[in-house]
Amino acid sequence: MEVIADQVAVALSHAAVLEESQVMREKLSEQNHALQQARNDAMMASQARNSFQKVMSHGMRRPMHSILGLLSMFQNDNMGFEQRIVIDTLVKTGNVLATLINDVMDISAEDTVRFPLEMRPFRLHSMIKEASCLAKCLCVYKDQEVGMMKKQKEASWHVRMLTQEIRKSLDRHTILYTTLVELSKTLDLHNCAVWMPNENRTELHLTHELKGNSKNYRRSIPVNDPDVLEIQGSKGVKVLRPDSALGASSGRELEESGAVAAIRMPMLQVSNFKGGTPELVDTCYAILVLVLPSMSYRGWSHEEMEIVEVVADQVAVALSHAAVLEESQVMREKLSEQNHALQQARNDAMMASQARNSFQKVMSHGMRRPMHSILGLLSMFQNDNMGFEQRIVIDTMVKTGNVLATLINDVINISAEDTVRFPLEMRPFRLHSMIKEASCLAKCLCVYKGFDLELEVQSSLPDLVIGDERRAFQVILHMVGYLLNIFDGGGNVIFRVFSESDSEGKSDRMLGMWKTNAPDEFVSVKFDMEMREGSSLSDGASSTPNSSGRRRNSAEAKEGLGFIMCKRLVQMMQGNIWISLNPLGSAQSMTLVLRFQIRQSYGRATFAPGTSSEQPSSNPQFRGLRVILADDDALNRAVTKKLLEKLGCEVTAVSSGFECLSALNSAEDSVRLVVLDIQMPEYEWQHDPEGPKS
């Protein structure tokens, strides 16, 4: 154990010695580094001192010796007493400065502060006099500096005062007049004026003036005037020449007027700013002209020009701010007007929507429902035993009612969808029967108006065709009504119907003729209706032509809503319609060309009295079917009940929704069909969860 302890003690001692050696080496390295750094600093300081001594020797001591040499040359010349005092003072001051320079160089060379004294005789009074003279010069210089500081302080005070006065208002005219008044008070001016550019930037107009000019001098100056161009091209104050037109127009010719100065003021608008900073665009400048009084015999000082420059900058900022506010106000007013117009348009749209809904309700309840009732009543008579002429009248009334019902549905659809779309019902119909019914109705209208109708139909026309019978019938009736409204007197109406391919080139001169290249299974039928003035064929004494009657030309007809809608219908049916003019420029005839598909299986017939395919007849599928009919309108209820009974149904008619529910409960499961109006006044089925389900 003792041996081990001795070994450990030796090892620890050895480790401690090593650590201390390491610390000593680190300290020695740091000291060597610091010594090297100090040596480098000493070398740099020595170099800097040498450079400083060279600069002091060549840049200060040598020039000073030269100055002293020159001054010594003047000391021996003949000069006045005051001049000699000045020269002697300058020499004495130069010697003092040379001594100071030598002391500084000696201190920098020896690194010690030692001032060698030169003990020699001198004149005490002369030294005191020279010192007092130099002190006086220093006092005068300090007084000038103090005066300049006071002037600068006063100028800054005046600028602050002017800025405060300018910023009290946001009106452009108030800002300019305040500037003129305050500048006149501050600088003791004789007159002030502001020249503003016109809208085209071709001239400057005198818009604001402190004192009016009684003489008839120019109130406008072109922008290409030399003084104007020079002022707008410089940033500072420009003193004008005595013969300047701008100075003369600004008040120089007034009595007691002196020197005139001018400076530009940029006029920035909202269009000059993007992102909050002015863009590099052509800036518009106004000019501020200032006139001094002539009795003061003074010119424009540097301090006054500085005040004018600062005030002009402040005025430019205030004017730009006012312009931005004015434009912002105008934009707010425009925005308010647009918002008001938008709100008015929104209200108008709401009123139009309400009016459209009311119109749809009136059309539905006041026209469509009665028309359906009339068609139902007429269909009840179609199966009854009646004569040939009575059947023609009933069929014509049914056809006319279907046309009116189609028109009513079109009007309701247009008002609901805001678009002019007419769905076509393409189905087979008898062309000769439709022509016969249209001619029958047209003849009735012609007789009522005092006209005769002549009908010419091509016998080779196909009978059974496919197309929209109601739309074609509607357009033919429009043609008849238009021609009958042209003249107030009697005459003849000639109605011709023939195949378009057999027209022998008569349509080549027609305006807007539609040519067809359809194959044989299609036919193009031309309906031509011509008006001829003259005495009536049926009753020559009943009507005579009236040359003073109302006429409409083709342009007026095409602008009418009826012609436009009919033309659109015809174009949808792959046809065309146009108006022909007489030599006087009035409408003479109307021509309609329609394209139909031929049903080959039915052959051709000429004016065969056909029966309507829309009539209800008994059907084995409906025979014995129990139906409940619910409608609050008694006429509709009676007509619908009669039509359902013709189909073979057993109908129970009720007048309200509650009676319908009672009938359903009492009938249990025997009722197979319910026909009802879902918008009855006392009951709405879509809002009743207890109502009948499909």
pLDDT digits (tens, 9 = 90+) for 381-411: 776 777 777 777 787 788 778 878 877 887 7
Domain 154-329 matches domain 626-687 at the CATH topology level = no
Question: pLDDT value at position 590?
Answer: 87
Q: DSSP secondary-structure letter at 235?
A: S
Beta bridge partners of 587: 581
- Token pair of 643 as six digits: 């039509």
- Token pair of 241 as six digits: 């020449």
pLDDT digits (tens, 9 = 90+) for 329-350: 888 999 999 999 999 999 998 9
* Least confident span in 40-54, 213-227, 327-341, 555-569: 555-569
Q: Is the model's pLDDT at 164 over the cut of 70?
A: yes
Q: Where are the domains of the chain?
A: 2-110, 154-329, 422-602, 626-687
* Least confident span in 208-212, 338-342, 453-457, 501-505: 501-505
pLDDT, average across residues 597-617: 50
Question: pLDDT value at position 342?
Answer: 93
Question: pLDDT value at position 84?
Answer: 76
Question: pLDDT value at position 371?
Answer: 81
Please answer whether residues 206 and 189 qualify as being in contact, where contact means their C-beta atoms are separated by less than 8 angstroms: no
Query: From residue 467, how far is each of 213, 426, 463, 523, 621 by CA, in Å?
Result: 90, 4, 12, 11, 30
Topology (CATH) of 422-602: Heat Shock Protein 90 (3.30.565)
Question: pLDDT value at position 544?
Answer: 36
Q: Is the model's pLDDT at 601 over the cut of 80?
A: no
Q: Does residue 660 sit in helix, strand or coil?
A: helix
pLDDT, average across residues 294-298: 68
Question: pLDDT value at position 141?
Answer: 72
What's the gap between Cα 468 and its chain centre? Answer: 47
Q: Is the model's pLDDT at 546 over the cut of 60?
A: no
pLDDT, average across residues 23-44: 89
Question: pLDDT value at position 555?
Answer: 43
- Whole-angstrom distance, CA of residue 372 vs CA of residue 568: 26
Q: Is the model's pLDDT at 359 over the cut of 70?
A: yes
pLDDT, average across residues 653-682: 80
- Whole-angstrom distance, CA of residue 395 vs CA of residue 579: 30
Question: pLDDT value at position 343?
Answer: 93
- Token pair of 476 as six digits: 């033919």
What's the gap between Cα 2 and its chain centre? Answer: 106
Which one, of 685, 668, 687, 667, lies nearest residue 676 by Cα?
685
pLDDT, average across residues 562-578: 83
Please answer whether residues 595 and 575 qualify as being in contact, where contact means their C-beta atoms are separated by less than 8 angstroms: yes
Task: Looking at 450-553, list the stretches that DSSP marks H as alpha helix, in order from N- to C-terminal side.
Answer: 469-484
Q: Which residues contact 218 (CB under 8 A, 6 or more apart)?
A: 245, 249
Question: pLDDT value at position 257?
Answer: 66
What b/e readout covers 627-659, taking b as 16+ CB neighbours within 10 angstroms?
bbbbbbbeebbbbbbebbebbbbebbbbbebeb
**Residues written for the chain:** 694
Comparing 533 with 338, the larger pLDDT belongs to 338
pLDDT, average across residues 225-237: 88
- Whole-angstrom distance, CA of residue 616 vs CA of residue 193: 99
Q: Which of 219-223, 558-562, 688-692 has the highest mean pLDDT?
A: 219-223
Q: Which CATH superfamily is domain 626-687 in?
A: Response regulator (3.40.50.2300)
pLDDT digits (tens, 9 = 90+) for 471-519: 888 888 888 888 888 766 667 888 899 887 644 444 443 333 344 444 4
pLDDT digits (tens, 9 = 90+) for 193-204: 899 888 888 888
Question: pLDDT value at position 363?
Answer: 79
- Token pair of 186 as six digits: 């501050």
Q: Is the model's pLDDT at 420 over the cut of 80?
A: no
* Least confident span in 25-39, 201-215, 338-352: 201-215
**What's phi and psi for 503, nearest 5 deg?**
-80, -5
Question: pLDDT value at position 235?
Answer: 84
Question: pLDDT value at position 119?
Answer: 79
Q: Is the model's pLDDT at 110 over the cut of 70?
A: no
Question: pLDDT value at position 650?
Answer: 87
Question: pLDDT value at position 255?
Answer: 56
Question: pLDDT value at position 186?
Answer: 80
pLDDT, average across residues 91-117: 73
Q: Is the model's pLDDT at 55 over the cut of 90?
A: no
Question: If pLDDT is split at 50, 70 and 90, which confidence band does 421 have?
Answer: low
* Least confident span in 160-169, 318-327, 367-376: 160-169
pLDDT digits (tens, 9 = 90+) for 426-440: 889 888 888 888 888
Which one, of 525, 518, 522, 543, lies nearest residue 533 by Cα?
543
- Whole-angstrom distance, CA of residue 312 vs CA of residue 7: 96
Q: Which helix (H) or strand (E) holds 496?
A: strand 491-499
Question: pLDDT value at position 476?
Answer: 87
Question: pLDDT value at position 604?
Answer: 42
Q: Is the model's pLDDT at 674 over the cut of 60?
A: yes
Comparing 499 with 360, the larger pLDDT belongs to 499
Question: pLDDT value at position 505?
Answer: 42
Comparing 628 with 359, the larger pLDDT belongs to 628
- Whole-angstrom distance, CA of residue 133 vs CA of residue 143: 15
Q: Is the model's pLDDT at 554 over the cut of 60?
A: no
Whole-number percent of the chain with pLDDT over 70: 78
Indicate the class that CATH gives domain 2-110: mainly alpha
Q: Is the model's pLDDT at 133 over the cut of 70?
A: yes
Question: pLDDT value at position 277?
Answer: 56
Q: What is the CATH number of domain 154-329?
A: 3.30.450.40
* Least confident span in 116-130, 316-330, 586-600: 116-130
pLDDT digits (tens, 9 = 90+) for 629-659: 888 878 778 888 888 888 888 888 998 888 8
Question: If pLDDT is split at 50, 70 and 90, which confidence band does 318 have?
Answer: confident
Whole-number percent of the chain with pLDDT over 90: 4
Comparing 140 with 680, the larger pLDDT belongs to 140
Q: Does residue 20 sit in helix, strand or coil?
A: helix
Question: pLDDT value at position 516?
Answer: 42
Question: pLDDT value at position 515?
Answer: 44
Question: pLDDT value at position 451?
Answer: 85
Question: pLDDT value at position 367?
Answer: 80
Question: pLDDT value at position 15?
Answer: 86
Task: Looking at 220-277, list the stretches that DSSP marks H as alpha helix, in order from N- to C-terminal side.
Answer: 226-233, 245-247
Please answer whether residues 568 and 501 qualify as being in contact, where contact means their C-beta atoms are separated by less than 8 angstroms: no
Question: If pLDDT is split at 50, 70 and 90, which confidence band does 545 have?
Answer: very low
Q: Which helix (H) or strand (E) holds 595?
A: strand 587-598
- Whole-angstrom distance, CA of residue 234 vs CA of residue 239: 12
Comparing 213 with 183, the larger pLDDT belongs to 183
Beta bridge partners of 262: 238, 289
Question: pLDDT value at position 269?
Answer: 65
pLDDT, average across residues 528-534: 78
Query: From residue 411, how far is each of 361, 416, 592 by CA, in Å?
Result: 12, 9, 23
Question: pLDDT value at position 140?
Answer: 77
